[in-house]
Amino acid sequence: TKEGPAKLLYEPLATLLSERVRMRELWRKRESDHAFCELNRDQRPLSVPFVFKKKDGKRPSGEGWSPLAGAIDELEEIAANLHQWGRALESGNKKDLPQVQADSSKTDSKHAKSSEWSGWGQMNFGLEMQDPWASLLLLGKKTIETRAYDLPPSLLGRRIEILQSKKGKAGVSCLGDEFKFHQECPVERIGWCSFGKVIKYTDQERFEADEKQHLVKRDSGYGWRTGITEVVYGWVVKEFGLYENGAVPAVLSAIRRMRSLFELTTVRRDQPKSSDDRDVKRRKRKKRY
């Protein structure tokens, strides 16, 4: 029988990527070996001099450039997608295509607010965190939450709910810009925390020196990427708490305000559901006079 494109093209490429994943996993285990970790930083093997993403759409000069993703979970996702693309090509059914997720690193939501927005100090907010990061924070093991953006100043010291989502691709949200909490909701409200200050990491050495606090390993999708990363913000945990069964505060829905920060709205009928509704009511009230 004649083999289709999935067998001839997509599956061989997926197999090669899976092999690359295995090799990178073996290297990660070697880096965690006690003999390797006890070496001084200047005595360790040099990092592979590859840049995994183009900066500003341009190929970096003076460095090797790889079109492959740098993190293991990203490679695994590409391999899985290749299998699905081949299946969709042969079946002609778009339902066989891999599901596209929203990139939480972008702030193109029509509801997005700047860090100076007055609502940060007035409304309640939740922070989307993938498993296992959310649990590690609420168990006291992760004391610094790393982000590519600064925490709005008005949220310092304020209680923020932790919205735990399933493990997925680094930096990719599983949520829409608006959603309601119900039985099939893709996130679970498992606790809360507050942040006391923000550390601004501007170099890789300082960032990796705090690995025991933020728990982000070098080969993680959240790790520092040589030639790509310019700054990482470390939100230092001040207080935290886990919710017990039945002790979760009532919340109706959520609206994305900045990347993974969501405004949480309640069910009360005597108040506007969100700050957007407050602004609309305020404008209507002004028109009467």
pLDDT digits (tens, 9 = 90+) for 31-69: 667 777 777 777 776 666 566 555 555 555 555 556 666
Tell me which amino acid residue 49 is: P
Helix, strand, coil % (nearest 5) of the chain? 30, 25, 45
234, 210 contact by CB (below 8 A): yes
pLDDT tier, 5 (very low <50, low <70, confident <90, very high otherwise): confident
What does the block give as tokens for 7? 């067998």
Query: What pLDDT is attached to residue 107?
Result: 44
pLDDT in tens, 116-133: 999 999 999 999 999 899
* Non-local CB neighbours of 157 within 8 Å, separated by 6+ positions: 194, 195, 196, 238
What does the block give as tokens for 75? 């490679």
Determine which helix (DSSP H) or strand (DSSP E) holds 130, and give its type and residue range: strand 124-130
Query: To the nearest whole number, what is the mean pLDDT of the chain?
Result: 79
> pTM here?
0.62
* Residue 117 or 276, more confident: 117
Question: Roughly how many angstroms between the first and final C-alpha of the chain, as a whole number?
Answer: 80
Mean pLDDT, to the nearest integer, of 99-113?
58
Mean pLDDT, to the nearest integer, of 144-160?
96
What does the block give as tokens for 59? 């190929």
* Residue 253 or 31, more confident: 253
pLDDT tier, 280 (very low <50, low <70, confident <90, very high otherwise): very low
